[in-house]
Structure 1
């Protein structure tokens, strides 16, 4: 007779994953991971608009232990381009001058097409009249 024993799962301490700037201000909600002692865990860098990942405090991957653990992702704030001086009309900035927006000049396009069609029709009528006079 053979007896097989299994070890009872023991709940491990939670893993708290924080996302902060260099001053310690929260940039996103904390993530809490739970598991059993010995289970593996993995944390990830989040994309946070206006910020760039800088460093990590703690282990991004590891195993649950009986004690709670924390992982902190630290971000730096991205540089902000200053707005162009509105007093200087000659100031050209790539942020203010982009590609033209399509669909804004539908009336002008329609008028141009109609004018072209009228000119073509007038030319055809003029040629026919000239041909009939001969």
Structure 2
């Protein structure tokens, strides 16, 4: 049997069988969240005509609670202060953040159109100069 210190079953029982006089061996299990404490009965011995019980006793490990997802531990201190209503500090950290890809699609379009006009204008100027020279 595998139980905790209160006698509560924490793993499936293992039943061994054999002929009277044959040797037996029981094994200690590794059980998640538990630490082995003691064995009650003979872990090894010989089979008899009577029922023999070997009990492995385990203590429950202290489980440290995991931090809540809303603990804001990864947020800089200045932003935490603003979140709590303290508006004494300016958020200079936000000023240094670059825009993400696609944030300024309008500016990209203006840049492409300006480039096309510049190329087209250069070609027109070159053609007019050649016609004047001929």
TM-score calculated relative to the size of structure 1: 0.51
- The answer to whether the aligner puts 1:61 opposite 2:44 as a matched pair is yes
What per-residue deviation string (whole Å, max 9, x for no partner) do you get for residues 21-62 of structure 1? Answer: 011111111111111111000000011111111100000000
Structure having the larger proportion of residues in strand? 1
- The answer to whether the aligner puts 1:52 opposite 2:31 as a matched pair is no
| Higher Rg of the two aligned structures | 2
How far is the alpha carbon of 1:83 from its aligned partner?
2.3
The match for 1:76 is 59
The match for 1:40 is 23
Q: Which runs of 5+ in 2 are unaligned?
A: 75-100, 102-134
Q: What CA distance in whole angstroms lies between the structure 2 residues aligned with 1:85 and 1:27? A: 28
Structure having the larger proportion of residues in helix? 2
Structure with higher RCO (Cα < 8 A, 6+ apart): 1
Aligned length: 76
Cα RMSD of the aligned pairs, angstroms, is 2.2
TM-score calculated relative to the size of structure 2: 0.51
**Structure 1 consecutive aligned stretches of length 4 or more whose deviation exceeds 3 Å:** 85-88
The match for 1:24 is 7
Q: Which runs of 5+ in 1 are unaligned?
A: 1-17, 92-107, 109-134
